């Protein structure tokens, strides 16, 4: 195993969740500068997420349960304008949930062919 679950979460899952969050906020009619301000990131980062330059490996919308949680988070961000640590905490929780449901297994295999998804149950056992 060349990459572990934490690397997969930090390098692929978390950015993909954040990208989807940016997309949902854009779908809600917000401008890039407004999204950047709400998420406490740069407008340049928002632009890269929307251009699929960041977080493009995993299409979060293909996972309806997680996508629903991202949409709920987006609505909460618009209404309550939480701080950056609260948003980060929610995205980390969603990342662990994503791992715990085994959703990242096939992506882990794509980036590390030494992984055998049929045998590896590390994330499911630890985070499920």
Tell me the C-alpha distance between 45 and 50, whole Å: 9
Tell me the per-residue pLDDT of 74-91, one tens digit each, with 9 for 90 and over.
999 999 999 999 999 999
- Describe the crossing of helices 43-50 and 14-27 by its angle, rounded to 10 degrees: 90
What pTM did the predictor assign? Answer: 0.92
| Biggest CA pair distance of the chain | 45
What per-residue confidence (pLDDT) applies to 63? Answer: 97
Tell me the C-alpha distance between 81 and 102, whole Å: 31
How does the average pLDDT of the chain come out, rounded? Answer: 93
Rounded mean pLDDT of 30-48?
97
What per-residue confidence (pLDDT) applies to 27? Answer: 97
- Smallest Cα–Cα separation from 98: which of 8, 21, 22? 8
Nearest 5°: the CA angle 75, 18, 125 is 105
pLDDT at 1 over 70: no
């Amino acid at each position: 195993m060349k990459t572990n679950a934490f690397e997969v979460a930090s390098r692929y899952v978390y950015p993909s969740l954040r990208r989807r969050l940016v997309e949902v906020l854009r779908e809600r009619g917000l401008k890039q500068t407004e999204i950047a301000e709400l998420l406490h990131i740069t407008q340049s980062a928002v632009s890269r997420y929307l251009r699929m330059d960041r977080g493009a490996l995993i299409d979060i919308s293909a996972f309806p349960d997680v996508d629903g949680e991202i949409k709920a988070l987006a609505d909460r961000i618009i209404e309550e304008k939480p701080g950056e640590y609260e948003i980060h905490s929610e995205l980390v929780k969603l990342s662990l949930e994503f791992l715990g449901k085994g959703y990242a297994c096939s992506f882990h295999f794509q980036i590390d062919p030494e992984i055998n998804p049929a045998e590896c149950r590390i994330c499911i056992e630890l985070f499920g």
